[in-house]
Amino acid sequence: MNLDLEDKVVLVTGGSKGIGQGIALAFLEEGAKVGIVGRNLADLKAAQKEGIKIFQGDVTIAEDRERVMEEFVTNFGTIDVLVNNAGGSNGSSVMETSIEQFEEAMHLNFLSAVDLSKKAAAIMSGKSDGGAIINISSIFGRESGGKPTYNASKAAMISFTKSFGDEMIKKGIRVNGVAPGSILHETGNWKKRLEQDPVKINSFVEEHISAGRFGTVEEVANVVVFLASKKASWVVGSTLNVDGGQSYSNF
Ligand code: NAP
């Protein structure tokens, strides 16, 4: 399938590691021009290669979002695709988690993406070929399998994807999302947990993931590049589960 992404200009937040890095590499393979955002300069430099430009910034800080978007557009001239991938988990049970931690999670997993999406959409609206925004949430935004802060902020992201998808399709911008299940990669949480307690984590996989294994970053990235392409022209406001059957509640 020709995805026709050659020379498209793509910004991936959290593109220095894990799923985001896999997404950046998948776009690069399609011939796109890619920028990645992260806080840690050493990790960004390690992920830098021909065709991938790095932009250091913290997506939870408004000034950084403004500066990164400006630097990106100055560098590439425009933006065709935004992937809001930066995210993470904090807190524990609701009673043991402070309101400040809930706020932090909302800023990282949700509000940063809202602001960057608005900035990207403002630029994409002025282009004849529109654009695509892809939000990385989680099946836990539907199934409550993670920490309460994480579930709530990812649920907000899924809802936002629907609303903004409906709003922006009128301007030729498709907003969609991917909700990954449990993905194993070198720097990720699952790798740490697997090393700490292999018996527990292997039985979790057997019991909860229909496919009987963790997913890979490439399996998520494949769906993201498809959603960014014109081949997904009738997919609007959707968040696709990419989870080996893990979301068996089937919401
Ligand atoms: P990861 O390995 O922890 O990588 C996170 C990436 O985001 C890194 O590049 C990190 O770089 C960047 N990042 C984190 N906070 C940032 C901030 N404030 N500003 C800018 N960049 C920031 O995570 P992952 O496992 O690849 O997950 C990527 C996304 O998929 C997240 O949204 C996560 O919630 C979602 N997800 C993951 C899984 C899974 O099983 N791994 C499952 C479902 C959904 P710096 O630390 O240098 O900033």
Name the percent of the chain lying above pLDDT 70.
Answer: 99
Cα distance between residue 172 and residue 132, in whole Å: 9
Alpha carbon distance 174, 180 (integer Å)? 19
Q: Please give the C-alpha separations between residue 122 and each of 125, 166, 207, 228, in angstroms, as whole numbers.
A: 5, 15, 45, 17
Q: Distance between CA 30 and CA 146 in Å, rounded?
A: 33
142 conformational bin, left if phi > 0, alpha if psi -120 to 50, beta if neither: alpha
Q: What residues pair up with 63 in beta bridges, in sequence order?
A: none
Which of 12, 13, 17, 106 has most ligand 1 atoms within 8 Å of its beta carbon, as the pocket-test mutant?
17
Annotated active-site residue 150? The verdict is: yes
Task: Kindly tell me if the per-residue pLDDT of 248 is higher than 90.
Answer: no
Q: What is the predicted pLDDT for the residue at 143? A: 86
| Ligand 1 center from residue 236 Cα (angstroms) | 24
13 CA distance to ligand 1 middle (Å): 8
Pocket test for ligand 1, best of 82, 84, 85 (most atoms within 8 A of CB): 85
- Give me the pLDDT at residue 78, please: 98
Class of domain 9-185+216-242: alpha beta
Check if the beta carbon of residue 134 is closer than 8 Å to that of residue 242: no
C-alpha separations of 5 from 9, 33, 89, 238 in Å: 9, 9, 32, 20
What are the residue boundaries of the structural domains of the chain, listed by start?
A: 9-185+216-242
The radius of gyration of the chain's CA atoms, rounded to the nearest angstrom, is 17
Enumerate residues 6+ apart whose C-beta is below 8 A from 219.
183, 242
Displacement of CA 239 from its chain's centroid (Å): 11
pLDDT, residue 173, reads: 98
Residue of the CA atom closest to atom 32 of ligand 1: 87
Q: What is the pLDDT of residues 40-84, one digit of tens each?
A: 999 999 999 999 999 999 999 999 999 999 999 999 999 999 999
pLDDT of residue 167: 98
Residue 178 CB less than 6 A away from ligand 1: no
Is the pLDDT assigned to residue 250 strictly greater than 70? no
Tokens of 112: 């940063």
User: Is the CB of 183 inside a 6 Å radius of any atom of ligand 1?
Assistant: yes
Q: Tens digits of per-residue pLDDT, 184-220? A: 999 999 999 999 999 999 999 999 999 999 999 999 9
Q: Which residues pair with 174 in a beta bridge?
A: 132
Percent of the chain whose predicted confidence (pLDDT) is above 90: 97
- State the pLDDT at residue 26: 98
Say if residue 159's pLDDT is above 70: yes
Does residue 242's CB lie within 6 angstroms of at least one atom of ligand 1? no
Residues 127-150 pLDDT 10s = 999 999 999 999 999 988 999 999
pTM over 0.95: yes
Contacts for 89-96 with beta carbons within 8 Å, 24 or more apart?
89/146, 89/147, 89/149, 89/150, 89/189, 90/147, 90/149, 90/150, 91/147, 91/148, 91/149, 91/150, 92/147, 93/148, 94/148
- From ligand 1's centre to the CA of 95, what distance in Å? 25
CB 60 within 8 A of CB 42: no
pLDDT at 237: 98
- Segment 226-231 shows an average pLDDT of 98
For ligand 1, say whether the CB of 59 is within 6 Å of any of its atoms: yes
Query: What's the CA-to-centroid distance between 118 and ligand 1, angstroms?
Result: 21
Name the DSSP class of 175: E
CA of 33 to the centre of ligand 1 (A): 21
Beta bridge partners of 131: 173
d(CA 168, CA 164): 6
How crowded is residue 89: how many other Cβ atoms within 10 Å of its Cβ? 17
- Is the pLDDT at 251 greater than 80, yes or no? no
Provide the edge-to-edge strand list for the sheet that holds 52-56.
52-56, 33-38, 9-13, 81-84, 131-136, 173-180, 239-242
Residue 20 Cβ contacting ligand 1 at under 6 Å: yes
The residue from 150, 160, 164, 214 that is catalytic is 150
